[in-house]
Structure 1
Amino acid sequence: MVRPRPPLIARDAALGELERLLHGAAERGSAFVLVSGKAGVGRTTLADALAARHHGPLLRATGAEWERDRAYGVLGQLIGESSRGGAVEVSSAIARNAESAGGTVLAVVDDAHWADQPSLQALASAVRHHRDTRLLVLATAVTGDPDVPAPALELLHRVADHAITVEPFTPPEVGELAAAHGALLHPSMAERLWRHTGGVARHIGQLLAEVPRTTWARFDPALPAPAAVAASVRTALAGCSPEARGLAEAAAVLGPGTTVRDAALLAGVPGDVLPALDEAVAARLVEFGGRGLTEIGPPDPMVRAAVLAAMGPAAAARAHRRAADLIDDPVRRMRLLVAASPMPDPDVADRLDALAAERAAEGAWGVAASLLNDASRLTEDRLKRESRLTRAVDALIGAGDAFAAAALVPEVESLRETPLRNAVLGYLAIVRGRAAEAENRLGRAWDLVNTEREPDVAASICQRYVLHSLSRLRPEELVSWADQAVALAGEDAPAGVEAAAIRGLGLAAAGRAAEALAAYAELAERVQHGAQAQRILMGRGWLSLMVDAVDDARADLESSVPTTFLGGSTRISLWARAWLARAQFLTGDWDDAVRTVREATPLLDRAGIVLAGPLLYWTAVAVHALRGDWDDAELALRRADAGPQDYEIMRVPSYLARAHVAEARADSAGVLRALRPLTQPWAGGGVDQPGQWPWADMYAHALVLEGRYAEADTFLTRQEALAAGRGPGSARARLGAARGRLLGSQGELDQAREAFEAALELLEDLPLRYDSARVNFAYGQILRRAGKRRDADTVLTTARETFAALGATTYVARCDRELKAGGVHVPRTERGLGELTPQEEAVSQLVASGLSNREVAAELFLSTKTVQYHLTRIYAKLGIRSRAELAARRGS
């Protein structure tokens, strides 16, 4: 029976490099390649993949520990004959063998760290002394194994012409490998398997084959060791003294970061512990931690699982219970008691519930979720068990792990209907971007709840409505629900604090920014520590961005990105990253903005919080489009559009992202198509809030560029009225530039100048580099069209310098065309083909590049008729009759 070849996952780059080297051996001569990595990481699979793609002569050999002293044993496997003499003499035989084979010879030596040195020396000499021979030697070797002889590894690294290191899989790659084995893992489970196995392909494949499929759909399952690892650990334990075995078992029970003192006490090792510790370390059952000789732990989670399994359930339970008496940390102590409780235990379950409530009060939802899930499993009373399980799902969502929460949904949906159950399912629907489902679930929860008997549940429902209203961009509803949550729960309860942390955003969106800032100042003073502080900082940073306090916004948002706030929320971190990227974009730190989005992407994929996706990728689309990186822009745009678009907070940034692409392509009609939904009645006041969603000026500019002046005037008048009453300076500046473009297009140059100068004055003290460049560009276009070429040249040069510093190549090119069309720095003797004017030269370049008259008009801010007029004159001057001839003439 032929053993199926393991799937090749995430090794395309390494395989491509090996293929390149193999082809190079045919063109440039022989070479020696070393492929190394941890045991089981996939070195052999990679070598097999190369061998499968090689159509020439193939030689195979495998090193073995028991044959490493047999001279030329590996070489005998390769060329089928025993060899005598020194390495150089033998290398000649290898070369002759390769030359007679016909074609490029691929010689694979697997596990070369066990190969005999004479064979390795002969292969190295064959490569070095017979470079004209078409031979590629590929040797695979294990690294990081203390049993592997150092001389062999040193020799391999010394003789290798090329070295390729095979790294363990990343969590997404673990998911790919699992899918190839027929198991679909959600990202959080893929990460759990990755942590358990260290990303080693062999262990992953073994567990996927050995563990029941139902395990992978559970929340927080206890993963065993692969059978091979378990057998190795059992053998190691059997060979240990009672003291060393006791230390290994104690380390497995207590887990990583255990003090030697605690392990010795639990193991009952008296006196000098070092001999037993040396023995356990040598057996690879224990390793030292990060604090020298004072801290130990299992080498990895698999060894820990294997040791606990070898102890047996009864012994392991007794050890866990004894260990709980040694630990001061309450969470760690309770987890030890859970491991010691195979049957329902009301006392332990109640203690878990109480501790979960404490952690929830701090906003440490991830810890609370784990404690509540354990409590539900140890609860015999059905109503209590169902309540604890439901609260565990709620806490998981609060922590931002939507995938793990979704894994428990079938069980929660099977429970009897309660207000809490509906509220939790509604909460999950929100973070998964399903507005209609959330509306139904929360509405049902509110209908069922009795606010007098269950004020805490009612407050929780209100708090979910706060998030729902935020996502629907309904500020008045948000403030109303937040006030109810605080009234029901109290201002210091988790639901009250979380509602207050978002309430300020509703106040600001409703035009009460000063009140919102004061509320955040009071809240931040009252709650300075723990995971709740993360929510407050994020909300305040978001608000600061809305009111042009960009430096304050960056400080708060950067502080609220980490999730190290006692188990802080991934959801809050994602919101913080999205608005931080936006702040970095506005200040011109575009590389930082792209990096922020890139670093958030794995977190978004792992958490499953699709609600935050469009907001995050909006900024990436803008940067890539302005830089002319169209493939990256389209990829980010697809990410922004992925999943449901039920919530306005998802739809609005998605529309803006599309508008950025269209504007970067000088497609004003495309801008209008992208943003037209925001002019519809569904958008409401939340979309029109000046300062948060910078779409109104883009829409107005596009209307003017399309010649729809009356419509632009009506639109701008409404937006200016809103901004005058409650808009920050940046919003008024953006609208002022759009007004300036409209006035200039209608021939009102003096009024246009006033509008542009006022806009630039509003931006003067703000660090908004992109907005300043954009206003200057529009101003320069108007001045050039009005014939004020020297003034236009000054303004456009300022815009160009800023765009160039940002890397906005699309606008740099436009500035160059505007400057050239202005002709201030272009002597008549340098006008180009057929003595074209600067304006004609700009038109001819764009037409020759393939743009239509309409597209040229949008690019140069001209009417279509003017473009046609210039094109007619160009044809006459150059003596041509078509666009094709113009393109050919310019290309010659």
Structure 2
Amino acid sequence: MTPSTTVRSPLRLYGRSGELAILEALLDLTGRGSALVLTAPPGLGRSALALHAADHHRAGPVLYTAAAPAERLLPYSGLHALLCSARTALPVLPAEVLRSGLASTALLDLLATLGARGRLLVCVDDIHAWDPRSRAALAFAAHRLDAGSGVRVLLTAAERHDGAEVFAGLPALRLAPLDDAAAGQLLEQLTERHINSAVREELLREGAGNPRLLTALVDGLTQAQLTGRQPLPEPLPGDEELLDACAAPLTRLPAGTRALLLLAAAAEEHEPDGAGADTGLLLRAARLAGIDPGGLTSAEAAGVLRGAGGRTRFTHRPTRGAVLHRAPPDRRRAAHRLLATALDGPHHALPRLIQLACATDGHDPALADALTLAATAPYPHTDRAAALTRAAALTPDGAPRGERYAAAAEHARLAGEPGRARALLARVRTVPAPGLAHYVRGQLALRDGPAADAAQALLTAAALLGPDDPVRRLDALLAAAEAAWASGDAAACLDALHRVPPDPGDPALERCLTGLRALLEGDADRGRALLYGCLGPPSGPPEGAAAQTRAGVAALALGEVDAACLAGARALAAVRAHGPEVLLPQALERLAHAELRAGRHAMARAHALEGLRAADRLGQRNAAAQLHALLALAASVEGPAAACAAHADAALAGAEPHGLVHAATLAGWAVARAELAVGRSAEAAARLAPLVGHGPRPGHFASRMPAVPCFVEAAVLAGRAVEAHPAVEDFAHWTATTADPHAAAQLARCRALLAPPGEAAVRYEEALAHHDRYGGDFERARTQLLYGHWLRRQRRTREARGPLRDALIGFERCGARLWCARVRGELRAAGEAVAATDGPSPLSPLTPQQQRIARCVAEGATNREVALRLSLSTRTVDHHLRNVFAALGIRSRTELARLLDRDGR
């Protein structure tokens, strides 16, 4: 194998902002002496931090040296190297001083003298490798630095090293491994972003947040392996020097303790990452081998292992790798055989076979078959993935090996480990690849990839799986329909549903699919009749997540939002009770979507936030985009506007590269609704027009109708009423076929907005009557707001105050804080005093009408747009704006915008 020879720029210190801040405070202290000891296991970057501190110290001289282990037996060799590191010659401690044992006080005097001339930094990397006398002398000086000496001492050391007691009492900082975000940034710089996503996740898992190990892993791979064109080697290349450094402290432990460390390392072969080893298993294996179990206590005292909750873990993951790699192969295999013997009983069948597989050198078809058979039992998906991976490695090349790697990838996916699943799929080398491999690849792309690619992979999988695997074939076709739906391709969604073979054994599924097909084909009456048959209460025991999810889809398609919320809650309960966890983001997303349609914005936000955390944890970026869009919709009601914009931007960032039209449509709708809330109707109308129209790039077919009321309101207020008429006719047709409780009231409101003055009041009253029957504080308050606005525009200001007061109360009751400010502005314009919600505003000297004009102008609206928005003449706006400038003592629109921006309102 030829390693990569990519030339890289110097590496940044990723994930060390806290440590850098502490170092900066150490270096910036004026007139005070200070010391700090940085400790860390090998490879975590303590040397890089020491170099950074030395390079960035500008306030005085620097004495920097890295310990030379070869000179450890030479007395005072460390001090000599330190003093010789100065750029200018320093006094050398006389030999008689060293022989007399006064080196410590002499060093203290010398450092104090140098510190008096300017802030001195004394930096020693790996002080644990210094000779003991130099170490003791510097420790003495560091403890006794006078507060006014101006000397800073920065030391780095390994954990639990010999002679550490001399530094006891000095401030210490222990470095932890990098988190995933920082480790990912480091990998991107190491590879210049030329890395496959599956390879990236595998290296992050193997690197365990250790910068040096991550660097070694990248350096040991070719460009083809990093980009996924070739599979990763087994095992992955590591850093031999790092392994030596991790293994060195272990040589001082008793033989029995070292034997237990090997057993602990071997026992983790069948455990999930970070789970550690079963302490009971280690103790049973130790008794079988005649090893004193007290060695575990010794290992914990040495800081190598830690035990908690019946599990034993290595405190530093590379130490486990060092134990395995430094043990001779025959001893490793013997440890695995011993663990297999200790795993007795039928409930340990799978772990026992995995340990036997680890003890096997080469292929073993019989053991591979046994592992494959055992993996069909109801073990956790992580264990089954591990078993099938071992079975594939024991299988000679050919179709069975590819099938087993694909099956292992499927269980890794269900365990919520998409990176591991992709890495396993890369090992499927059979041509053509088995249908299961396409199935897993499509399912992974459905959650984190282009939706169109996912649909094609799943259709291919369904064709290859055929009647031999009917369950996965059905899942593949339903997932392909879901992918097409997410991409807004109704024809592709219908095609996937048509490919589902009839199943007389599952009449509920058959009704649901036939009903959805009928709706997509335009046969609304037949589709609705069939889908209503899916909404009945479950007979017998509670149904699983899949059946409840289908019921929720049917309910949303019908507009039965309360039934959709109930089905979503049942599906979520089933996933939480029975798993797999990989379905949790989808369950929470569907429930939050139903709750938004029902007007339960606070509950939707809570479920969407939980779903977003799960999606981020499980690497499901498509689900995260959808959840960000739902959170943007919730924020377009509750506020603040900045949160709506942030969630919408995040949704679009994930939706656009993966073709997620539904998420993009919801995000655009959310931003437009937030713009309506603050009175920016022209912008809202421009944003919504393509989403509700039939142009070349329309919005999602399932979200077009729910967004129409917002478009009609925005278009009318922006002077584009002529564009709203076709949308209202479409909405009227949809209202006649949906059970959505808000649709009838929204239709009446839309018609009121477009009606002539003599008819508008009747339409508004009709809309409010519908609201009285079906509830919904937010939609009712929006109708009252528009009714009050219309009455004020008709010069019926006294009558306008009643609906506007009701609107304010309604928005406050449902938490629609973003809309309250608009209602207060309307009430002020209607001549009613409204209590301020916070401190005095810079617009306080202005009349209510002037305040509204000033805010519109500060947002960038022209005088004509302000006149249109506030139902005034352009001349009236000009007149008020001159008075605004005079009252506030400003001369331009720019100054007005800055004034309101500073105020933050």
TM-score range, shorter chain: 0.7 to 0.9
Structure 1 partner of 2:880: 874
> Is the aligned partner of 1:383 residue 2:399?
yes
Matched residues in 2 for 1:226 and 1:747: separation?
Answer: 83
Structure 2 partner of 1:515: 533
- Deviation, 1:11, is 2.9
Report the AA paired with residue 748 of structure 1: E
Aligned counterparts, 1:15-34, within 5 A: 15=20, 18-19=23-24, 22=27, 25=29, 29-30=31-32, 32=34, 34=36
Aligned counterparts, 1:242-261, within 5 A: 243-255=256-268, 258-259=277-278
Matched residues in 2 for 1:106 and 1:741: separation?
Answer: 74
- Deviation, 1:8, is 1.7
Paired residues in the alignment total 840
Structure 1 partner of 2:115: 98
- Deviation, 1:852, is 1.4
> Is the aligned partner of 1:587 residue 2:601?
yes
Matched residues in 2 for 1:195 and 1:878: separation?
Answer: 61
Secondary structure at 1:250 match in 2: helix
- Cα distance change, pair 47–884 in 1 and its aligned pair in 2 (3 A): same
Secondary structure at 2:395 match in 1: coil
Matched residues in 2 for 1:762 and 1:37: separation?
Answer: 68
Give deviations 1:492-546, integer Å, cap 9, x for gaps: 9xxx99x999999889995465433338x3597244xxxxx4x556666677776
- Uncovered stretches (5+) of structure 1, i.e. residues with no partner: 158-163, 528-532
Structure 2 partner of 1:825: 833
Aligned counterparts, 1:60-139, within 5 A: 60-61=63-64, 82=93, 94=111, 96-101=113-118, 105-108=120-123, 110=125, 119=138, 126=145, 128-129=147-148, 135=150, 137=152, 139=154
Structure 2 partner of 1:649: 662
Matched residues in 1 for 2:313 and 2:26: separation?
Answer: 43
Give deviations 1:616-673, integer Å, cap 9, x for gaps: 2213444566645548825751552335353543443344345346545644344344
Q: Give TM-score, length-normalised by structure 2.
A: 0.75
- Deviation, 1:258, is 4.5
- Cα distance change, pair 283–873 in 1 and its aligned pair in 2 (3 A): closer
- Deviation, 1:254, is 2.0
> Is the aligned partner of 1:729 residue 2:744?
no
Aligned counterparts, 1:137-216, within 5 A: 137=152, 139-140=154-155, 145=160, 149=164, 152-156=167-171, 166-182=175-191, 190=200, 192-209=202-219
Secondary structure at 1:55 match in 2: coil
| 8 Å CA contact retained: 2:439, 2:457 | yes
Aligned counterparts, 1:289-308, within 5 A: 289-291=308-310, 296=312, 298-308=314-324
- Cα distance change, pair 655–354 in 1 and its aligned pair in 2 (3 A): farther
Report the AA paired with residue 34 of structure 2: F
Aligned counterparts, 1:214-233, within 5 A: 217=228, 218=231, 222-223=235-236, 226-228=239-241, 230-231=243-244
- Deviation, 1:870, is 1.8
Structure 1 partner of 2:731: 719
Which of the residues 737, 758, 761 maps onto 1:750? 761
**Bigger shift: 175-184 or 105-114?**
105-114
- Cα distance change, pair 777–276 in 1 and its aligned pair in 2 (3 A): same
Report the AA paired with residue 792 of structure 2: R
- Cα distance change, pair 726–786 in 1 and its aligned pair in 2 (3 A): same
- Deviation, 1:177, is 1.7
**Bigger shift: 230-239 or 347-356?**
230-239
Matched residues in 1 for 2:24 and 2:218: separation?
Answer: 30
- Cα distance change, pair 601–459 in 1 and its aligned pair in 2 (3 A): closer
| 8 Å CA contact retained: 1:389, 1:412 | yes
Secondary structure at 2:765 match in 1: helix
Matched residues in 2 for 1:117 and 1:389: separation?
Answer: 57
> Is the aligned partner of 1:695 residue 2:710?
no
| 8 Å CA contact retained: 1:37, 1:43 | yes
- Cα distance change, pair 837–670 in 1 and its aligned pair in 2 (3 A): closer
Matched residues in 2 for 1:725 and 1:611: separation?
Answer: 31
Secondary structure at 2:62 match in 1: strand
Alignment RMSD, CA only? 5.3
| 8 Å CA contact retained: 2:651, 2:664 | no
Report the AA paired with residue 630 of structure 2: T
Structure 1 partner of 2:332: 316
Q: Give TM-score, length-normalised by structure 1.
A: 0.76
| 8 Å CA contact retained: 1:544, 1:552 | no
Report the AA paired with residue 201 of structure 1: P
Secondary structure at 1:139 match in 2: strand
Report the AA paired with residue 372 of structure 2: D
**Bigger shift: 61-70 or 582-591?**
61-70
Secondary structure at 2:342 match in 1: coil
Matched residues in 2 for 1:93 and 1:793: separation?
Answer: 83
- Cα distance change, pair 876–147 in 1 and its aligned pair in 2 (3 A): closer
Give deviations 1:315-359, integer Å, cap 9, x for gaps: 433543453343333442332233233333222332333344445
Give deviations 1:346-396, integer Å, cap 9, x for gaps: 22332333344445xx9x666555444443333337232333344445555
Which of the residues 782, 785, 793 maps onto 2:790? 782
Structure 2 partner of 1:530: none
Structure 1 partner of 2:15: 10
| 8 Å CA contact retained: 2:785, 2:803 | yes
- Cα distance change, pair 631–351 in 1 and its aligned pair in 2 (3 A): same
- Deviation, 1:674, is 3.3
Matched residues in 2 for 1:790 and 1:337: separation?
Answer: 86
Secondary structure at 1:825 match in 2: coil
| 8 Å CA contact retained: 1:41, 1:201 | yes
Which of the residues 612, 626, 631 maps onto 1:615? 626
Matched residues in 1 for 2:356 and 2:473: separation?
Answer: 33
Report the AA paired with residue 687 of structure 2: A
- Uncovered stretches (5+) of structure 2, i.e. residues with no partner: 1-7, 269-274, 521-526, 901-905
> Is the aligned partner of 1:852 residue 2:868?
no
Matched residues in 1 for 2:736 and 2:779: separation?
Answer: 19
Secondary structure at 2:737 match in 1: helix
> Is the aligned partner of 1:599 residue 2:618?
no
- Cα distance change, pair 44–245 in 1 and its aligned pair in 2 (3 A): closer
Percent of paired sites with the same residue: 22
**Bigger shift: 647-656 or 404-413?**
404-413
Matched residues in 2 for 1:879 and 1:322: separation?
Answer: 87
Matched residues in 2 for 1:5 and 1:412: separation?
Answer: 37
**Bigger shift: 590-599 or 776-785?**
590-599
| 8 Å CA contact retained: 1:524, 1:537 | no
Matched residues in 2 for 1:202 and 1:116: separation?
Answer: 26
Matched residues in 2 for 1:16 and 1:98: separation?
Answer: 23
- Cα distance change, pair 14–680 in 1 and its aligned pair in 2 (3 A): same
Matched residues in 2 for 1:112 and 1:501: separation?
Answer: 71
| 8 Å CA contact retained: 1:703, 1:709 | yes
| 8 Å CA contact retained: 1:672, 1:702 | yes
Give deviations 1:779-808, integer Å, cap 9, x for gaps: 443343344445544544555567678886
Give deviations 1:63-109, integer Å, cap 9, x for gaps: 979799989959968875659999999878655533434xx554545
Structure 2 partner of 1:38: 40
Structure 2 partner of 1:344: 363
| 8 Å CA contact retained: 1:793, 1:819 | yes
**Bigger shift: 553-562 or 166-175?**
553-562
Structure 1 partner of 2:716: 704
Structure 2 partner of 1:467: 482
Matched residues in 2 for 1:178 and 1:835: separation?
Answer: 57
Secondary structure at 1:415 match in 2: coil
Secondary structure at 1:726 match in 2: coil
**Bigger shift: 398-407 or 340-349?**
398-407
